[in-house]
Amino acid sequence: MEIVSMVLAAKVNKHLVSLINQEGVKAIGLCGSDGELITACPAPNVAKLGFVGEVARVDPAILQSIMDDGHIPVIASEW
């Protein structure tokens, strides 16, 4: 799972941010754990599904400050 997280947060997220920036729009890549942006808890049926969770909380202040600065937040999923 560590490798999956690295690929999503590093490679895929950075590629998406790069594509957005090439279109002349400012983007910033984040992952859910950055600044405790997203807090999740295990899904009720986690034993059956494995590494599955539900979003418990999103900190809108982080996203708002990024958007107020004229950037698009690109959030990578994590494990």
Task: Tell me: pLDDT of 24 over 90.
Answer: yes
Q: According to the model, what pLDDT value does residue 33 have?
A: 83
Pick the residue with more confidence: 30 or 77?
Answer: 30
Q: According to the model, what pLDDT value does residue 25 have?
A: 95
Backbone φ and ψ of 33, nearest 5°: -85, -15
Name the nearest CA neighbour of 61 among 40, 29, 38. Answer: 38
Name the nearest CA neighbour of 67 among 75, 77, 55. Answer: 75
Pick the residue with more confidence: 10 or 26?
Answer: 26
66/64 Cα distance (integer angstroms): 5
Q: What is the mean pLDDT of the chain?
A: 87
Coil vs helix vs strand at 48: helix
Q: According to the model, what pLDDT value does residue 19 have?
A: 97
